[in-house]
Amino acid sequence: MFKNLTDENRNIYDFVSNKTYNLNQSSVTRYAFISGSSNDTLSTNYNFARINLYLSGSDYTTHTKKYNTFPTVGNQLNSDDMFFDKFYISGSVVSIPQNEFGDRIKPGSFTLTDDTTGAIIKDDLKGNLFGSNASFSQSAATSLSSSDNYIGNIFYDVGVFAITETASFDGTNNYSDVTSGNYTVRYKGVHEISTYEYVCNAASNEFNQTQNETIFKPGGAGKLKDHLTGSLFPTYITEVGLYDDAEDLIGIARLSQAIPKSRKIPMRFFVRMDY
């Protein structure tokens, strides 16, 4: 038996879930870059990062500023306090798979711990990265998280971060060595989830016939088992199926336990699906 659902029987609820991720270098992809390198890969990686993350429009922005007026993946031109001025001739870009962060990385949740150099890199909520344990400051008069001490950027929406500073953070290790060996990244991924709720109503005179084939005698040609022939035998509801307009089954909601169908009062079942 089918029963149509109206718009009044459908509700959509949107909510955001934050999931913590811990990854190491084997779960992400690192792209080292050097401007003008004889190594085509290093040179190509530099051009890719420069044009797609740090410029806007095209490489012609070097000579003509009017080409730097179109938002790109990295530079959205939205004046959000994201600094792009420390993109130097060498560095690295690291890409996190989308299935490891969801819709975006939550600002303020990113921490990179580099085992090779001992550097701990964090984000400042605005897309800028700084060395939280650096003993060398670019400006002694400002805090480590100030714009003077930014050492790269994180692009929350696409799961990409770049280490672009080349100076030393402790007098021995350089920022350019960060992500060249073993390291871990910890952050929260933002997942936007839509819950579809379907309200399935069953009147007292509806759905009182079972579709469970085990009610018939084995080889009995459709005859009911002896203990099921009484007029008071109730129908039990064990699952609710959702069908499309072509009557194709698209989803099944199974109850935790069978519920007897009432012949006296209407019953209501709530089916929820998350996407």
Q: pLDDT tens across 199-237, in order?
A: 999 999 998 877 777 777 776 666 777 666 656 677 889
pLDDT at residue number 66: 56
Indicate whether 119 pLDDT > 80.
yes
What does DSSP assign to residue 61? G
More confident residue, 52 or 216: 52
pLDDT band of residue 143 (cuts 50, 70, 90) is low
Q: Residue 9 in contact with residue 174, Cβ under 8 Å?
A: no
Q: H or E segment at 45? A: helix 40-49
More confident residue, 87 or 144: 87
- List for the chain the helix, strand, coil content (%; round to 5): 15, 35, 45
pLDDT per residue as tens digits for the range 165-204: 878 777 778 888 899 999 999 999 999 999 999 999 999 9
Q: H or E segment at 237? A: strand 236-243
> Does the reported pTM lie above 0.85?
no
pLDDT band of residue 256 (cuts 50, 70, 90) is very high
More confident residue, 112 or 234: 112
Indicate whether 65 pLDDT > 60.
no
What percent of the chain is predicted at pLDDT more than 70?
81
Question: Residue-wise over 170-208: b if at least 16 C-beta within 10 A, else e?
Answer: eeebbbbbbbbeebebebbbbeeeeeeebebebeeeebe
Indicate whether 59 pLDDT > 80.
no
More confident residue, 226 or 161: 161
As a whole number, mean pLDDT of residues 92-114 equals: 96
> Domain extents for the chain?
16-193, 203-274
Indicate whether 141 pLDDT > 50.
no
